[in-house]
Structure 1
Amino acid sequence: MENTAPSQLEQRLIGHLQVLYPNRDATELARNCLATFNLDPKTESPRPHRNLWDQSDIMLITYADTLRAENEAPLETLQKFVKTKLINSISAVHLLPFFPYSSDDGFSVMDYTSVNPASGRWHHISEISKDFKVMGDLVINHCSSRSMWFENYKAGVDPGAKYFYEADPNADLSAVVRPRTSPLLREVQTKNGTKYVWCTFSHDQIDLNFENPDILLEFLRIIRLYLEKGIRWFRLDAVAFLWKIPGSPSINLPQTHEMIRLLRLVIEHYAPESVIITETNIPNQENLTYFGNANEAHLIYNFSLPPLLINSLVTGNCKHLKQWLMSMPPAQQGTTYLNFIASHDGIGLRPTEGLLTDWELETLINTMKRFGGRISSRTTPDGEAKPYEINISLWNALAGSVQQGPDQWQFARFYCAAAVMMSLEGVPAFYIHSFFGTENDVDRVDNTGQFRSINRHIWKMDDLEHVLNTPTHHQKVFNAITNLAQIRRAQTAFHPNATQYILHMGDHLFAFWRQSLDRRQSLFAIFNITDQPQSFNLSELNLIATDDWTDLVTDTVYEDHLAKVTLMPYQFLWLANKKGKVKLVG
């Protein structure tokens, strides 16, 4: 008689499903999940705690249509640009939602299975995946009110009839944590009468009901499609809000973590080199929980880094940045941080909770307003509108200081910020506009009425090629950052999981030590984060006397290990005892 006992994979899957769907047959659901994913139940588990990255990994974040050329699909334009201009500087491309959408620049998805025809086709994404790792957005919390699913919901037919989360408008929902000020519920007329659907973000973004396992199966089909098209890294957008329980905050619920563990289990058995990244713009300690026990996210966004680093550079004081980093646990092998200082969204302020005082946060907000920024708000459970994020381009955010306003150090400050991000434990991710030093796009804000549009400029390729080939700050930024990225990718001390220790050199010098996993390369990263010269003695670093120490950026050799070193405003050193060789393609 054939043995039909569940395999190890099935048993683990059943365990997750029993937590999520206690009133359903977990064994049958597990088999449906495996069949949907076309996954053999006997598939062996990948080895745990594998680092699926190294020091060569640097990510580009971009919309599919940020670069546009005449008579060419934007995805084709992007593919040509990254292959010719960034092949030596990045290893991965994060394509923000490239699907047909109705609002929010792609995050109101109408159809998860097709590429927006205005951007290109699936084969363009597959072409990018031949030279780079590709990360795609799994917009998993909600979809567009203009999607087929929602039309079917209103008509009471499948697929979609029970796909959306409904709530009682008379229920007490005051505890719900949200990032917006709009009403939580939207009244909808359906075949079955008036319903009230849950909208965490906007009334065009209707939250999906993961209490219905059919939604899980739908997303497994979607994930499998992405894998077939060459996507291997998955960004779980707004995943902290996935599970709802009226009367609770409906954020970071245990079922949400269980769902992430389930998705990871299935994905990594199908494609062991795949990576899951959780996008959870929440206070730091809550964010850290998405590592689980190295069984949830492979990477988490380091959301506290952008506001704290920008605050350090405009105030000339790194006290809070140091304190935060000293409190951060080293990531376990097989997990790491995704470091970024600019993205398609604004500079999140919730991740500063408990890290900056109210006065310091107000000072930062007022400074960003002075540099042309806008402020988006959210509604707190008591009904108060509170600043949620700063909307500004990184170039403008670093235009000057709190004390002096705009000054002559904008490029130096910008370059220093990029260097800090590339030096820290984790995988660095550059928003495409950080490669160009793109300014605030105020006209786009006026056209869309959305503050976030200020940092979502569309470059015509003729204009971009012109500014990159003439003496402009755009050319200076592009050349400096691409060159620094090439140096960074060759240093084993910058492995995302290499040792990191914060050094105490006062509030004006931000410094830390990195050591490669094999302990052969030591690297001291030292940054002057002020607009004044700052000096220190090399004796403070306790350099190994028998090693030769060289600044990797300037190739300056420091033979006197006791010498006094003066750093000019925003100057930095990558002082290493060994120099990895930069290998260029093409």
Structure 2
Amino acid sequence: MSNHGPQLITYADRLAGDVAGLTALLDGPLAGAFDGVHVLPFFTPHDGADAGFDPSDHTMVDPRLGTWEDLRLLAQGRTVMADVIVNHVSALSEQFLDVRERGDASPWAPMFLTLSSVFPDGATEADLARIYRPRPGLPFTAMRLGGERRLVWTTFTPDQIDIDLRSTEAWDYLDSVVDALLSAGVTQLRLDAVGYTGKQAGTDCFMTPATDLYTDRIVQRAHAQGATVLVEVHGHHTQQMEIARKVDLVYDFALPPLVLHALTASDLAPLAHWLHIRPTNAVTVLDTHDGIGIVDVGPSDLRPGEPGLLTPEQIDVLVESIHDNSGGTSRMATGEAASNLDLYQVNCTLYDALGRDDRRHVLARLIQLFVPGTPQVYYVGLLAGANDIDLLERTGVGRDVNRHHYTADEVATELTRPPVRAQLEALRVRATHPAFGGSFSWETHGTGASLRWTSGDDWAELDLDVADASYAMTVSEGDGAVQVLAAGR
């Protein structure tokens, strides 16, 4: 089991029904392809207002999905990653319901943030305008706490109440979450939305010095129990590079739009530049349960005056090409068309973003598997899934377009498709071939590139051309070589 081998990202229920079903799938049809799995929120309830990222009880496995013992069985022989939702809890949590009823008389009152928690002397217009939020409007919701009307801090939705990490009560809560996960065999913690935790007057309340202190506190607790931590932050690429120096793992959120740009604009230059400067203690993704990040490659208010990895014009062309490739369905799921208006994401499956082109889909995955880091593969992308417009129309939530609920029969059918079989073949090589434990080198030549891993006499190479999506993946075998996958060559 390698810490750098491929991992699957999935909801237990949407791919396999429950945790035990996920174990059976990883031990069965997906055997050998993944060294680990990031199980998206499986807490009570797993199907709340934000697909499990608003649990009312973060220390309980939703009984519809299984038990802590089921999670321990999943963790046998593989790395399991789980989320610690650091910034907020559900408005329906026992703790916040008590505050709703009793106000400041509740023992949990110090755990929750209101406007006055951060601005006890009041906030000016400039103070409020400075606050960074991933959606339009201010991050407050008017609520009655103990009969008194208050402005409660809600960065994401009114269903998710921000917690005050300056309080003992918040840390008692978070420590109980971390301990529950680690005692169940989880060895990697993903800190969700941690960038928003360090709210301080006089700042934009995002990635402040307090955020570093809070993150370090959780990291130390995890390390003491043999676990590592992945920090989830969307922002300017230079921020990701800075964070990477301080933590175990960061996401390479710049990779998806750069790969999509390369494959839609036949332009490798921005990706080549990123390969020169990116951190390698990264989890690489092409698609996730959230949308395709744009802030991660563009200029940002978080770094005024600094260029992005793509120009605003390149980003506009990329977004339009995704909308065109998806037949307009991604436009229905993105921006003002969707209720969860995220300023930095395009909601679309990877397969639709590439126009359901099998070759380009597989090539995108091969590039990911060769870029240094721990590759995580989202379940919909693994199965080359298309946008789920029916689910989007039922829920009105943009990101649901890339969160399909698969039946067992659907999974069995999808596993027979050529782009799925090709990805699994490449993943099994990536998980087992010794070259990937060695050193990485690469070169570009026009629209072509060669990516190579070498460890002693072992090597693995990917030759590609983004103009026609041709590729050849070849690896050493004994004294010779074997071509794993090829198209157009």
Q: 1:119 aligns with which of 44, 65, 75?
A: 65
How many Å separate the matches in 1 of 2:9 and 2:290? 11
Cα pair distance change 1:341/1:484, threshold 3 Å: same
1:279 CA displacement? 0.7
- 1:333-352, CA deviations, whole angstroms, 9 ceiling, x for partnerless residues? xxx11001011110010011
Structure 2 residue aligned with 1:248, among 200, 203, 207? 203
Instruction: Give the conservation status (yes or no) of the 8 Å contact 1:94–1:134.
Output: yes
Structure 1 or 2, whichever has the larger Rg, is 1
The 8 Å contact of residues 346 and 391 in structure 1, kept in 2 or not, is answered as yes
Return the structure number with greater helix share.
Answer: 2
1:63 is aligned to 11
Which residue does the alignment assign to 1:531? Answer: 468
The answer on whether the counterparts of 2:334 and 2:398 sit within 8 Å (CA) in structure 1 is: yes
Q: Would the aligned equivalents of 2:87 and 2:194 in 1 still touch at CA under 8 Å? A: yes
Q: Sort the Cα spacing of 1:534 and 1:160 in 2 relative to 1 into closer, same or farther, 3 A.
A: closer
Tell me the residue number matched to 2:481: 550
Show the 5 A alignment for 1:256-271.
256-269=211-224, 271=225
- Determine the structure 2 residue equivalent to 1:187: 142
Deviations 1:465-490 (A, max 9, x none): 24435xxxxx2222211111111222
Q: 2:323 aligns with which of 359, 366, 369?
A: 369
Q: Does 1:355 align with 2:309?
A: yes
Matches of 1:284 and 1:290, distance apart in 2: 10
Query: In 2, distance between residues paired with 1:441 and 1:447?
Result: 10
8 Å contact kept, 2:464–2:470: no
Match of 2:349 among 370, 374, 393: 393
**Please, what TM-score do these two structures have when normalized by structure 1?**
0.73
> How far off its partner does 1:362 sit?
0.8
Distance 1:164 1:74, change over 3 A: same
| Residues 164 and 208, structure 1, Cα contact 8 Å, conserved in 2 | yes
Deviations 1:401-454 (A, max 9, x none): xxxxxxxxx111111111111111101000011221111100100001011000
1:281 corresponds in structure 2 to 234
Q: Is the 8 A contact 1:415 1:480 kept in 2?
A: yes
What are the within-5 Å matches in structure 2 for residues 154-169 of structure 1?
Answer: 154=100, 155-156=102-103, 157-168=105-116
Q: How does 1:38-77 map to 2 (within 5 A)?
A: 53-54=2-3, 57-67=5-15, 74-77=18-21
**Does residue 1:235 correspond to 2:190, yes or no?**
yes
SS at match of 1:206: strand
- Residue in 2 aligned with 1:316? 266
Q: What's the TM-score, normalizing by structure 2? A: 0.87
Structure 2 alignment gaps of length 5 or more: 117-121, 299-307, 473-477
User: Per-residue CA shift, 1:498-537, capped at 9, x if unaligned?
Assistant: 433331312x113233333xx44344432211227699xx
Give the structure 2 partner of residue 8 of structure 1.
none
Change (3 A) 1:109 1:159: farther
Q: Give the total of aligned pairs.
A: 456
Query: Which of residues 128, 142, 146 in structure 1 aligns to 2:74?
Result: 128
When structure 1 is superposed on structure 2, of 448-457 and 129-138 the one drifting more is: 129-138
> Deviation of residue 285 (structure 1)?
0.9
- Describe the superposition over 1:164-210 as per-residue Cα deviations: whole angstroms up to 9, x where unpaired: 11114754211111111243111111126222111111111111100
- The answer on 1:325 being equivalent to 2:278 is no
| Structural RMSD (CA) | 2.4
Matches within 5 A, 1:137-156: 137-154=83-100, 155-156=102-103
User: In structure 1, how many angstroms separate the alpha carbons of the residues matched to 2:259 and 2:94?
Assistant: 43
Cα shift at 1:464:
2.3
After TM superposition, list the pairs within 5 Å mapping 1:194-213 onto structure 2.
194-213=149-168
How far residue 493 of structure 1 moved from its aligned partner, in angstroms, is 2.8
Q: Is 2:6–2:430's contact at 8 Å kept on the other side of the alignment? A: no
- TM-fit CA distance, 1:266: 2.0
Name the CA distance, whole Å, in 2 between partners of 1:265 and 1:199: 27
Give distance in 2, aligned partners of 1:188 and 1:464.
Answer: 44
- Distance, in Å, in 1 between the alignment partners of 2:198 and 2:458 is 45
Q: Distance in 2 between matches of 1:212 and 1:534?
A: 54
Contact 2:464 2:471 in 1 (8 A): no
Unaligned runs of 5+ in 1: 1-51, 379-384, 401-409, 470-474, 536-546, 555-566, 572-586
Matched, 1:431 2:381: no
Question: Which whole-Å CA distance do the structure 1 matches of 2:469 and 2:178 have between them?
Answer: 51
The answer to whether the 8 A contact 1:153-1:161 is kept is yes
- Paired letter, 1:243: G
SS across alignment from 2:111: coil
Give secondary structure in 1 for the equivalent of 2:28.
Answer: helix
Distance 1:206 1:534, change over 3 A: closer
- Preserved CA contact (<8 Å) 1:173 1:246: no
Match of 1:480 among 422, 425, 428: 422
Deviations 1:528-547 (A, max 9, x none): 11227699xxxxxxxxxxx9
For 2:421 and 2:157, how far apart are their aligned partners in 1?
A: 40
Amino acid at match of 2:88: H
Q: Does 1:92 align with 2:36?
A: yes
* Alignment check: 8 A CA contact 2:8 2:36 kept: yes
Matched-pair identity in %: 25
Report what 1:513 is aligned to: 452
Query: Which shifted more, 447-456 or 460-469?
Result: 460-469
Name the SS of the counterpart of 2:445 in structure 1.
coil
Amino acid at match of 1:141: N
Q: Distance in 1 between matches of 2:151 and 2:81?
A: 34
Is the 2:2–2:35 Cα contact (8 Å) retained in structure 1?
no
Please identify runs of 4+ aligned residues in structure 1 that moved more than 6 A.
Answer: 532-535
Q: Distance in 1 between matches of 2:73 and 2:217?
A: 30
**Secondary structure of 1:351 counterpart:** coil
